[in-house]
Amino acid sequence: MSRLGPRVLESLLWLAAVLFLLPVLWAFLGSLKPQQDLMLRPWSLPLQPVWENYRAALEGHILRYLLNSTLITLVAVAAMVLVAVPAAYSFARMPLRGRGLLLGLAVSGLLLPAHAALIPVYELSQRLHLTDLPALAGPYVAFGLPLTILLLQAYFADLPQELIDAALMDGASHWRIAWQILAPVARPAVVTVCIFQAAWIWNELPFALVLIKSPQWQTLPRGLISFQGQYTAEWGAVLAGVVLAMLPVILLYVVFQRHVIRGLTAGTVR
């Protein structure tokens, strides 16, 4: 790959960008078509934009679904960070006995597909009488912690030891070092894991489909299913809801793009 010229690499990047943006563009154009044109000419440009699809999506309580998804995403990601930062600091900087084994156990959750535990999680939620958003918070945090701890631990391990030694000489506790010194310095890594986990929670469907019982607490992916009837589906409204669902994630990435790039490239240049 390093032998390829700059123009070839640029062309490959543009090709990858087009391939990734093609479904987004198709969904947006489809959201502007009437049902008949969407069925008969799915790849054509809309002859006349039909904004009624967005009105149908709004009348289908899409804003409530957006609010529910925002709430569960913020709660779950905040809980992940609150647990992962001190855990990652302990694995990276504290002289724990069997630290490598403990870290391996902490990140072993990456080996388990999240939805393979769907039935046990459902049974546990039933026994604890948990439904709706409270039932979703636990699985989202549990299955998001391994990757969050692993990435933050790797970032903390690359930070200069002199930074921690100076704080210890000033009488700072390990808790203060983790939150007031290392966490601000590791902001790119924290932002990166937050965006990754937020995108996964925002688009997650199987847990929401099984654990949510009340219609007023449906998340966005779960709520979009309500646009599909037994025999017909309002695909224009569905695509309009999909476009509205993509906007917050795209905006989140655009705002924090600089931090995400720094977090992904940290440690690659010495």
152-179 pLDDT per residue, tens: 998 888 888 888 888 888 888 888 888 8
Determine which of 38-42, 83-87, 126-130, 266-270 has the lowest per-residue pLDDT on average.
266-270
Q: What pLDDT score was predicted for residue 231?
A: 45
Q: With 90 as the cut, is the pLDDT of residue 62 above it? A: no
Q: With 90 as the cut, is the pLDDT of residue 266 above it? A: no
What are the two backbone dihedrals, phi and then psi, of residue 4, each rounded to the nearest 5 degrees?
-70, 145
Q: What pLDDT score was predicted for residue 270?
A: 42
Give kind and range of the element (H or E) at residue 125: helix 118-127
CB 104 within 8 A of CB 94: no
Q: What is the pLDDT of residues 130-155, one digit of tens each?
A: 888 889 999 999 999 999 999 899 88
Q: What pLDDT score was predicted for residue 122?
A: 92
Backbone dihedral region for residue 114 (phi beyond 0: left; psi -120 to 50: alpha; all else: beta): alpha
What is the spatial distance between Cα 163 and Cα 102, in angstroms, rounded to a whole number? 25
CA distances (Å), 61 to each of 64, 216, 220, in order?
5, 9, 10
Q: Note if the pTM is more than 0.85.
A: no
Instruction: Using pLDDT thresholds of 50, 70 and 90, give the confidence band for residue 268.
Output: very low
Q: What pLDDT score was predicted for residue 207?
A: 94
The CATH class given to the 61-227 domain equals mainly alpha
pLDDT: is 265 or 245 the higher one?
A: 245
Q: What pLDDT score was predicted for residue 192?
A: 87
Mean pLDDT for the chain overall: 84
**DSSP reduced 3-state for 233:** strand
What is the spatial distance between Cα 34 and Cα 40, in angstroms, rounded to a whole number? 10
Q: What pLDDT score was predicted for residue 269?
A: 43
Task: Give the domain ranges of the chain.
Answer: 61-227
